[in-house]
Amino acid sequence: MTQDTFSRRHFLKTATAVAMVSPLVIPGSAVGADDAVPPSERITVGHIGVGGLGRMVYSWTQTVKDAQSVAVADCFKSRREGIAAACKGKAYLDYREILARDDIDAVLIVTPDHWHVPIALAAGKAKKSVHVAKPLGLTMEQNLLCQKVFAENGLTFQYGTQQRSMPHCWKGCELVRRGVIGKIKALEVDAPNGGAGGSTASSPIPPDLGEDGYEMWLGPAPKTPYTTDRCKPNGTYWIYDYSIGYLGGWGAHPLDIMVWGSDADLQGTVTVEGTGDLPAKGLYDCVYNWDMEIKFGDVPLRFKTGGDRTRFIGEHGWIEVRRGAGLTGGDPDTWARNAENAGLSASDPKLLETPLDGEPILKKTPSANHIDDFIRSIKSGQQPVSTLKDAVRSDNISHLCDIAVRTKSAVKWDPVKMTLIDPTPEQTAILSRPMRAPRTPE
């Protein structure tokens, strides 16, 4: 993307945010003050999904001086109109209207999980760079297709594992990569648990969503009656039509750290087996209470429910990386400060004092704001800190666990050929899912 391309654009200016549920702060640089970047040099951004995390990602974007939010799509009217008013952009029910605009460079996709890859593929076809919230695809088939498409089109793809922009996570993984604990002998990963419940009773669609909004929300998922627990957490996370539950939805974070800090998952045949529960009743039907035993060649990984941590166990001790305290919302710089002392531990604290001189092995972002890295990557043409290739590696582990629990069998995976090894028909069936027309990825 060239300077000339930017200078031909007509940009919308960002104004002070309107008051909503919580303040949306717009810095002076976004309206031309201080060291503001000229409009002709900013990356124009469309936001697709602005509830919950999407709203937070919008707020992070407003502090990036090289970015300008100009459009918002969401199924809920109050969400899209509120954020659009805050950035003086345009609100849409249908995300495709954002993708059709040739004055938009990039989109931030923070929708329910089942929409992540379909919208990313459509955005790639429209020549937009993308940020995609975790987890990646609803199936392994979607993951591999997404990787293929973006490898071919050369557009920037940033995965929403924002802990890679946190200094303490970089430090822990960099120490492991530099061999401070020696060869990796074992791994431990914990992620928060899912659960059962949720009302299955049909209910009127709320006016803020409406018939058209609900149809858009469902998208490629099966047509089902609206219920009060469907289109909000925990329904968006724990219903199998839209997600594989916290195996992927939260497992994405500590599994991503495992991938970033080591290449253990590439060392040989991946074997996955273990236990987990499936709810006997209620709306929620994803795996929970999981306890998985995984082998990467001869390196064992235990993946179970718990906190949010990744422990690297080596020949000379262990280092553990946690997202740390105070990481539940708001300001990424506050995350970094709070996590500095809370997010790292080691078998010997002196391991954490090892100097990290010279050129880093892993990319280190200048800011704890993950969206800042996304925008910088678009402008520079360099890879973002959270790559699609690594997203596929970590997300596939979650899917292999889901397959193992649902089929009550050991699953084997070739990480080079990216295929199951001697799968059963039941295992193969879970690699893909039908998608309701016309939402099938091309």
Q: Does residue 370 lie within any of the structural domains?
A: no
Residue 380, domain member (yes or no): no
DSSP reduced 3-state for 291: strand
Give the integer Cα–Cα distance in Å for 331 and 113: 24
How far from 204 is each of 101, 199, 210, 393, CA to CA, in Å?
Answer: 34, 13, 9, 40
Q: Is the pLDDT of residue 192 over 80?
A: yes
Claim to verify: residue 312 and residue 190 sit in the same structural domain: yes
| Pairwise CA distance, residues 338 & 94, whole Å | 38
Residue 45 and residue 118 share a domain: yes
Look over the chain and give the mean of its residue pLDDT values, rounded to a whole number.
Answer: 90
Spatial separation of the C-alpha atoms in residues 246 and 268, rounded to whole Å? 26
Asked if pLDDT for residue 136 goes beyond 60, the answer is yes
CB-based burial, 90-107: b 16+ in 10 Å, e otherwise: bbbbebeebbebeebbbb
- 171 and 130 in one domain? no
The DSSP line for 57-103 is: HHHHHTT-TTEEEEEEE-SSHHHHHHHHHHHT-EEESSTHHHHT-TT
- Mean of the pLDDT values across residues 429-440? 86
* pLDDT score of 339: 55
For residue 167, what are the CA distances in angstroms to 30, 180, 366, 368, 391?
26, 18, 9, 7, 20
Report the pLDDT value the prediction gives residue 337, as an integer from 0 to 100.
61
Domain boundary among 118, 144, 163: 163
* Lowest-pLDDT range of 13-17, 183-187, 368-372: 13-17
Residue at 383 is within a domain: no
**pLDDT category of residue 198 using cuts at 50, 70 and 90:** very high
The answer for residues whose C-beta is within 8 angstroms of residue 111's C-beta and 6 or more apart is: 48, 49, 54, 119, 133
Please check whether residues 234 and 258 belong to one and the same domain.
Answer: yes
The mean pLDDT of 265-287, rounded to a whole number, is 97
Do both 145 and 121 map to the same domain?
Answer: yes
Dist CA 322 CA 342 (whole Å): 8
Note whether 266 and 150 are same-domain residues: no
pTM attached to this predicted model? 0.90
Residue 9 confidence (pLDDT) above 50: no
Q: What is the pLDDT of residues 144-183, one digit of tens each?
A: 999 999 999 999 999 999 999 999 999 999 999 999 999 9
Does 382 map to a domain? no
Residue 373 lies in a domain: no
What is the mean predicted confidence (pLDDT) over 3-20? 29
* Same structural domain, 155 and 175: no
pLDDT at position 23 over 80: no
Is the pLDDT reported for residue 334 higher than 70? no
With a pLDDT cut of 90, the percent of the chain lying above it is: 85
Domain boundary among 131, 163, 195: 163
Q: How far is the C-alpha of 38 from the C-alpha of 23, rounded, in Å?
A: 25
What CATH number should be reported for the domain holding residue 291?
3.30.360.10
Is residue 392 within 8 Å of residue 146, measured between CB atoms? Answer: yes
8 A C-beta contact, residue 391 and residue 144 = no
Last residue of a domain, one of 105, 137, 163: 163
Are residue 80 and residue 35 in the same domain, yes or no? yes
What pLDDT score was predicted for residue 31?
Answer: 41
Top-confidence residue, 118 or 38 = 118
pLDDT of residue 39: 82
- Domain presence at residue 375: no
- In terms of domains, do 340 and 315 share one? yes
Structure confidence at residue 35 (pLDDT): 63
**Dihedral (CA of 237, 239, 243, 247) sign:** positive
Q: Indicate if 432 and 283 belong to the same structural domain.
A: yes
pLDDT of the residue at 293: 98
20 pLDDT above the threshold of 70: no
Other C-beta atoms closer than 10 Å to the C-beta of 63 total 19
Distance CA 371, CA 332 (A): 10
Instruction: Report the number of distinct structural domains present in the chain.
Output: 2
Query: Which range is least confidently modeled, 250-259, 356-365, 419-428, 430-439?
Result: 430-439
pLDDT digits (tens, 9 = 90+) for 31-83: 443 567 888 899 999 999 999 999 999 999 999 999 999 999 999 999 999 99
Peptide bond into 135 cis (omega under 30): yes
Instruction: Assess contact for 287 and 401: CB atoms under 8 A.
Output: yes
> DSSP class of residue 442?
-
What is the rounded average pLDDT of the residues 188-202?
A: 98
Whether residue 332 is found in the same domain as residue 209: yes
β-strand pairing of 309-314 with 184-191: antiparallel
Residue 324 in this model has a pLDDT that exceeds 70: no
Res 13: pLDDT: 28
Based on the fold, state whether residues 288 and 145 are members of the same structural domain.
Answer: no
Residue 179: CB partners within 8 Å, gap ≥ 6?
A: none
| pLDDT of res. 3 | 33
Residue 357: which domain range? 166-364+388-442
CA–CA separation, 440 and 153 (whole Å): 19
317: in domain: yes
Please state, in angstroms and rounded to a whole number, the distance separating the CA atoms of residues 262 and 319: 12
Is residue 137 over pLDDT 70? yes
Which pLDDT does position 40 carry in this prediction?
Answer: 81
- Distances 93 to 50, 101, 214, 355 between C-alpha atoms, Å: 12, 15, 10, 51
Q: In this predicted structure, what is the pLDDT of residue 46?
A: 98
Residue 161: closest CA among 116, 98, 207: 116
Give CA–CA dist 251/147, Å, rounded. Answer: 20
- What tokens appear for 394 in the block? 């970590």
* 372 is a domain residue: no
CATH number at residue 156: 3.40.50.720
